């Protein structure tokens, strides 16, 4: 992990966030910012992205979180400013400022980076994914789906444990990223990414075919986890689901160790549990809101909101991956011994 990213992580996780002093009453306008918000960001060439914004008071300070990661915040009357670090998907990290104003119960504003305006954002209050607590009202999720926009906000820094920080600092994507060896990305990375997903829906299960690595996943709707699920150690784990309203709620356990980000080195332990909320939004797209609960590595659960679209011309293509190029490159550069020595970092 480079020096700049280390410094940014320390700034964001260990920052002192602006707010009123402990014991002093919150101003009315400040209190209006508190709560959970559905975040809509439009500042990248690939299009807009969704996320979750949480604004809380803790220890007398106002604290902001985007997709579970710290976002330094300040409030002045009805205006708000948030610092937002994000990865462009290629490993480059940027720091943007979200500045907004309360307007008709929501927040709207501009996004700037290095003083230049780069886009817009807005947030609307929400209590959670749609349909929670309602009687089951299944809808048809079948079809071939591809990412409609960027894979979530791209939030880069999360509140990790000391164990996770040590792993990330030692991580080197050149040797440790499983994708380079044609090994499964794991469930979190499979959920995002540019490859197609095909959903086949039946009464007792939902089957998801992943174009990437040609993996198959089944979400069982009529059972519980097997007794030995914690020892399963599978890339996609074991998933069970149920309907709340027209949202399919899926819980997955029995995962193998994996990575959260494309190649950022944020670890996922075998004890982790993943919850997904899958629903068709008002935009007719498939929304997948994912939360990772992994106390081994994260003090606060990371989140991701992926949006996928379907169309009559979408196809499920053949996928091919040959690890020879990876190993041959190491051999030609005389790096195979180093690769083998790093086995403890591989997922």
158, 292: one domain: yes
* Helices and strands (H and E) in the chain: how many: 7, 20
Query: What are the tens digits of pLDDT across the range 230-260?
Result: 999 999 999 999 999 999 999 999 999 999 8
Intra-chain end-to-end CA distance of the chain, in Å: 17
- Please give the Cα distance from 288 to 17 (Å, whole number): 30
State the pLDDT confidence band at 262, using cuts at 50, 70 and 90. low
Evaluate whether residue 323 is within a structural domain. no
User: Residue 149 pLDDT more than 80?
Assistant: no
Question: Phi and psi at residue 9, in whole multiples of 5°?
Answer: -60, -45
120, 147: one domain: no
104, 180: one domain: no
28, 103: one domain: yes
* Residue 244: other Cβ atoms inside 10 A: 19
Report, as an integer, the average pLDDT of 261-282. Answer: 91
Evaluate whether residue 30 is within a structural domain. yes
68, 12: one domain: yes
- Tell which wins on pLDDT, 73 or 150: 73
Task: Give the tokens for residue 120.
Answer: 């817009």
| CA 62 vs CA 30, 32, 216: distances in Å | 9, 12, 43
92, 150: one domain: no
Give the distance from CA 174 to its chain's centroid: 22
State the CATH number of the domain containing residue 276.
Answer: 2.40.128.20
19, 45: one domain: yes
Helix (H, G, I), strand (E, B) or coil at 110: strand
Listed residue (197, 221, 203, 164) closest to 314, CA to CA: 197
Listed residue (188, 192, 6) closest to 93, CA to CA: 6
180, 262: one domain: yes
- What does pTM read for this prediction? 0.89
117, 10: one domain: yes
270 sits in which H/E element: none
Task: Please give the tally of structural domains in the chain.
Answer: 2
211, 63: one domain: no
State the pLDDT confidence band at 46, using cuts at 50, 70 and 90. low
Q: Find the domain containing 107 and state its range.
A: 3-125
Helix (H, G, I), strand (E, B) or coil at 81: strand
101, 168: one domain: no
Task: Give the tokens for residue 254.
Answer: 């029995």
């Amino acid at each position: 992990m480079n020096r700049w990213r280390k410094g940014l992580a320390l700034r964001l996780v260990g920052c002192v966030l602006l707010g009123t002093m402990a014991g002093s009453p919150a101003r009315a306008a400040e209190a209006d910012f508190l709560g959970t918000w559905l975040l809509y960001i439009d500042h990248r060439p690939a299009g807009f992205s969704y996320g979750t914004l949480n604004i809380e008071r803790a220890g007398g300070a106002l604290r902001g979180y985007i997709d579970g990661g710290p976002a330094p915040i300040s409030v002045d009357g009805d205006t708000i400013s948030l610092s937002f670090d994000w990865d462009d998907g290629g490993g480059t990290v940027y720091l943007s400022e979200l500045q907004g104003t309360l307007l008709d119960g929501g927040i709207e504003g501009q996004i700037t980076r290095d003083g230049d305006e780069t886009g817009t954002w807005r947030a609307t209050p929400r209590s959670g994914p749609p349909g929670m607590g309602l009687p089951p009202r299944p809808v048809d999720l079948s079809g071939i789906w591809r990412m409609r926009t960027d894979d979530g906000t791209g939030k880069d820094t999360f509140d990790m444990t000391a164990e996770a920080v040590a792993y990330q600092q030692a991580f080197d994507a050149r040797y440790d990223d499983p994708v380079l060896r044609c090994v499964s990305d794991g469930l979190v990375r499979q959920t995002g990414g540019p490859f197609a997903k095909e959903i086949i829906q039946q009464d007792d299960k939902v089957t998801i075919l992943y174009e990437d690595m040609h993996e198959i996943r089944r979400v069982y709707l009529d059972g519980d986890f097997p007794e030995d699920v914690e020892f399963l150690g599978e890339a996609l784990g074991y998933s069970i689901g149920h309907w709340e309203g027209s949202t399919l709620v899926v819980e997955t356990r029995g995962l193998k160790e994996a990575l959260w980000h494309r190649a950022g080195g944020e670890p996922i332990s075998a004890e982790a549990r993943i919850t997904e909320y899958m629903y068709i939004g008002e935009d007719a797209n498939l929304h997948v809101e994912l939360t990772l609960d992994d106390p081994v590595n994260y003090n606060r659960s990371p989140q991701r909101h992926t949006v996928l679209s379907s169309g009559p011309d979408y196809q499920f293509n053949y996928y091919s991956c040959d690890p020879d190029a990876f190993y041959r490159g190491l051999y030609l550069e005389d790096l195979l011994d180093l690769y083998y020595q790093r086995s403890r970092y591989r997922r």
